[in-house]
Each structure stands twice: as C-alpha cells, then as structure tokens.
Amino acid sequence: RPDDLDAPGVDVVGSVAGVDVRGVTADSREVADGTLFVAISGSRSDGHDFVPAAVRAGATAVVVERRLPDLAVPQLVVGASRRALATAAAWWFGDPSREIGVIGITGTDGKTTTSLLAAAALAEAGLPAGLVGTVATQIGGIRESNALHSTTPEAPWLQRALRAMVSADDRAAIIETTSHGLAMDRVAAIDYDIAILTNLTHEHLELHGSFEAYRAAKLSLFERLAVDAAHPAKVGAGWPRTGIVNADDPSAPAFVAATNAAGAHVLTYGAHPSADVRLLGIDESAGGLAVDHEVEGRRATVTLRLSGRFNAHNALAVVALGHAIRLDPAAVRAGLEGLTGVPGRMEVVDRGQPFGVIVDYAHSPASLALVLDELGPAAAGRGGTVIAVFGSAGERDRDKRPMMGRIAAERCRIVIATDEDPRGEDRAAILEDIAAGARDAGARPEAFLRIADRPEAIRAAFARARPGDIVLLAGKGHETTIEYADHALPWNERVEAERALEELGFRS
C-alpha cells in the first residue's frame, strides 16, 4: 500500500502514489519488477552504489540513508537502513511474529544444542515449532540443513521463514539470536515472547569492539521483552513475556535486571542456590547424562543421550522454558531424552581405530576449554592424552586466538593449529597469533605444530595419536565450507576424518 511507505521519520523524495511493492530486498541481485530495494552501507561495500542497477532491474522505490540524484523512482530517506529493512520486511510479510510464539535463544555457546532440545521438547508436548539456527531450519516439521554461513540471517529471510511457519500451523518459532543479528537489526521487527541466555564469554569483539558492547547487544533482546506501544501484547498467540537466564553465568544479574526493567517475568536456571530451576547433580555414564534438578520443590531427573556435562545447563534452560509456558514437565523430559545428537557437537567418528576422534564446533575460548575439560579425563581413563586440531576465523576477533592457543596447550599433549576460515587474512599470521598463546603456556616446539592445510593437519594428528588418545577436531563442526579470500572450499569434517582413517586402514 503506497501510504505505508510514507511513515513518520521517513523523508519521501518523489511521490509514492501508485507505487506497487511486490517484494523487499537489500541484495541488488534479487531485484525484480516491483521490488523495494534497501541500500545498506556495509564494511566492504555501500548499497547506495548499487541503487542505479536496482532501478534498472525494476525496483519500484528505494530506501536510502542519503538522497541520491537523478533517480526515476521514489526515495525513502531514513536514518538507519538496516532497521528500515527489518521494518519493511515485517510489513511485506504481514508481521508474522505477531501470530506465533517467538523464543529467542542467545549466548556465546550452547545456542544450537539448546534450540534443538527446545524443538524436541515442544514437539513432544504437542506444540509444533519452527526453527531457525546454525545447523538447521525447520518449518512445518520439515528440517533442512542451514546452507547459510550465518546463524541469524537477514531480515527478509527471517520474516519469510516466520510467515511460512505460521502458514504451516507451527505454534512456536525458535530463533538462535546472535549478537550480530541484534546489533545489525536483523531481528529488530521480530516480536519476541521468550528470551533465553545460555552463557556469555569472550567472542565477536571484531564487531562489537569490547566485551561490554557485546553484552549490551545480547541484553537488548531482554530489554525488548517489554509490552509497550511498539510491542503490544499478542492476541491469540505468544505467552507471558519471560527472560530465562543462566544463574551461574557472571553476567546473570545484568540480564535479570534488564528483564525486570522490561516488566517481564524472570526465570533462572543452574546450580546457584537461588535458581528457579536448580541443578542438583550430574551423573555421567555410557548411556548418557543424568541431570537431577528441582523446580518449585519438585525433584526430577532427565537422562540426556548427549555427552558433555555442559549440556546439563542447555537442558535445564529448556526445562525452564517448559515451566514458563506451562508445558507438561513429563513431556518436556521425554522430548529432551529423545534427542540423540547434534551435528558437529561432540560427534564421535569411529572406524575401529584405537584412538578416539571427536568433531566439535568449539570455536571460542570458553567452548574449547569446556570440551577439552571433558575429553581430558575421558582420555586419561583410557590411558591416553588429547590432541587438538583447531584454528581461528580470519577477519574476526583476533584477541581470542592466543587465548585459545594457551587453553589448548595447557590441556593437550599435542596442538595443531590449522585453517578454520582464513577469509582475506594471512593464514600464517592467524596461526602465529594462536602460537603466541601456546608459547605463553610453555608449549614445546614438538608439541605445537602449524599446518595451515586442514586435511593435512587432520592426518598429522592421526599419525601422532596413540592407543587411548582422543583427537579433537574443533572449530568447523557442522559447517560445509572453509572460507578463503577468493573461494569457499567444500568441507565436511566428519567425512574428511573418515577418509583419513580409511587411508590408515581403519574401515569398520
């Protein structure tokens, strides 16, 4: 509707009367007749440079941050194109988040496992849920691998997915909500009902500049739980606005305070004595992870078919979610117990070799430490040690590289630094950043190797593995490419590990 384009805060250059909008995009390659093109200024390119091409391709109007000369279509001049893109996409798809309960899961680590656990629990409780996450998208019960190299996609993609969920009769939408998605306004026009914090540690400082800014981005999700003129209470969809916070995380008080300030309910989980969903104990066995917990004085145990003690917190976040929206606790536990694994998360590769091989997405200092702290005792119990193969992404947070080198060197017999996603950075420089941390930890030259080629690094680790050892392949997990400056190398960590093991004669 033309009148919708002439909104408060928008300076309209030209007339929008008779303008027929048939789609919204910020990608000039997607423009067709009737598209509203939004020009976004990015770190590598400026969308305003592509406006003439978008108009030639059929754009019926353009959203810009500065007026452009000699355009034959109306210009909507705004202060922030990214936020305008989110608003326009929500408008175009009919504001679908107002018609479905929306759960946002944020945190440095654990988002993917928590989201898949939540989807399983909601389904078991009779509440079909759509999912947008790092490893998969699910709409109407159909799950597809996420081919994007992004956890939280751009606003038009998200709004289209939400509309599809509503059309497929999904009653909930679970969205892994990253700091990038929050800071870059990709989720600005999504009306969240539930916000869940898994944890908060050092990550993504290349975007945010400081840990405080990183935390502020995460906090904004909880601040938006407020019911106000911009986000009125939903009618016939959604639940009481609730912030669910890991009570054991040092940043928990800030997130509780943000939720309280928004006027939303607060639920906490963890081992902290004050937690609403309190962790009482963890029993690891070959059959899984038994998590004893208490909710409002009622004790229960959920036995996960996942390894890693850190998954106890992920599971209790979902128990808290079930409590917040009044699901049957027994159904929630059944759903949690039914999830048999998460791609690229503590994934075992076994071809009958005398040493263990684990593929895990761990790509932050905290997640690498958590995984190694799980694998160290496990290897020791088999009379072995740990060998770690990992890298660090190019054009991303440099500060974490030496941290990860130090963490690995302190916990492993051998560390092999390799490519993760170098992008446009010098591969050797990335490995040197990791090496600096390993040297600080006292790593001997023979215990720290730099092998940029990831297939070669994996084979070097297997060649050095002894019976009882565990080789951790960290950082890629489920991802299907390794990103270089001029190409993306197709990649599957599990398949590459299996191929390397077969070359050594292990095929069972």
Angle between helices 311-324 and 329-338 (to 10 degrees): 150
- Could you tell me if 465 and 356 lie in one domain? yes
Composition of the chain by helix, strand, coil, percent to 5: 35, 25, 40
In this model, does residue 152 exceed pLDDT 80? no
Q: Is residue 175 part of a domain?
A: yes
Q: Is residue 246 part of a domain?
A: yes
Nearest CA to 26 among 121, 154, 151, 117?
154
Mean local confidence (pLDDT), 26-54:
93
Q: What pLDDT does 234 receive?
A: 80
CATH of the domain at 246: 3.40.1190.10
- Could you tell me if 267 and 130 lie in one domain? yes
CA 259 – CA 269 distance, rounded (Å): 15
CA 130 – CA 144 distance, rounded (Å): 11
Q: What pLDDT does 2 receive?
A: 43
The terminus-to-terminus CA distance of the chain in angstroms comes to 63
Q: Which amino acid makes up residue 201?
A: T
Q: Which amino acid makes up residue 421?
A: D
Reduce the DSSP state of residue 172 to 3 states and report it: strand
- Could you tell me if 200 and 151 lie in one domain? yes
**Per-residue pLDDT band at 231 (split at 50, 70, 90):** confident
Q: Is residue 508 part of a domain?
A: no
- Could you tell me if 298 and 410 lie in one domain? no
Q: Is 107 left (phi over 0), alpha (psi -120 to 50) or beta?
A: left
The DSSP code for 72 is S
Close Cβ partners of 336 (under 8 Å, ≥ 6 residues apart): 117, 120, 121, 302, 304, 315, 318, 319
CA 126 – CA 200 distance, rounded (Å): 31
Which range of residues forms the domain containing residue 423?
A: 347-503
In this model, does residue 233 exceed pLDDT 90? no
**Of 312, 338, 364, which marks where a domain is finished?**
338
- Could you tell me if 269 and 386 lie in one domain? no
Q: Is residue 174 part of a domain?
A: yes
**Of 287, 320, 338, which marks where a domain is finished?**
338
- Could you tell me if 68 and 208 lie in one domain? no
Considering Cα of 459, then 465, then 468, then 471, what sign does the dihedral take?
negative
Q: Is residue 10 part of a domain?
A: yes
Q: Is residue 473 part of a domain?
A: yes
Q: Which residue has the higher pLDDT, 328 or 214?
A: 328
CATH of the domain at 44: 3.40.1390.10
- Could you tell me if 207 and 320 lie in one domain? yes
- Could you tell me if 129 and 268 lie in one domain? yes
- Could you tell me if 113 and 241 lie in one domain? yes
Q: Is residue 438 part of a domain?
A: yes
CA atoms within 13 Å, Cβ hemisphere of 3: 0
- Could you tell me if 329 and 351 lie in one domain? no
**Per-residue pLDDT band at 288 (split at 50, 70, 90):** confident
- Could you tell me if 178 and 315 lie in one domain? yes
> Where do runs of H (alpha helix) occur along 359-448?
365-381, 400-411, 427-440
In this model, does residue 6 exceed pLDDT 90? no
Q: Is residue 277 part of a domain?
A: yes
CATH of the domain at 363: 3.90.190.20
Mean local confidence (pLDDT), 468-492:
94
Q: Using alpha carbons only, how large is the chain's radius of gyration in Å?
A: 24
Structure-derived torsion over alpha carbons of residues 342, 343, 346, 348, reported in degrees to the nearest 10: 120
- Could you tell me if 82 and 119 lie in one domain? no
Angle between helices 427-440 and 400-411 (to 10 degrees): 50
**H helix count then E strand count, the chain:** 16, 24
Mean local confidence (pLDDT), 374-385:
94
Per-residue H/E/C for 195-248: EEECCCCCCCHHHHCCHHHHHHHHHHHHHCCCCCCCCCCCCCCCCCCEEEEECC
| 278 contacts 285 by C-beta, under 8 angstroms | no
**Of 290, 310, 338, which marks where a domain is finished?**
338
What are the pLDDT digits (tens) for 184-198?
999 999 999 999 999
Instruction: Give me the number of domains the chain comprises.
Output: 3
Mean local confidence (pLDDT), 389-409:
94
Q: What pLDDT does 5 receive?
A: 56
Q: Which two tokens stand for residue 180?
A: 């990038």
CA 140 – CA 55 distance, rounded (Å): 36
Q: Which two tokens stand for residue 246?
A: 């890991």
CA 288 – CA 291 distance, rounded (Å): 10
Close Cβ partners of 490 (under 8 Å, ≥ 6 residues apart): 480, 481
As a whole number, the mean pLDDT across the chain is: 92
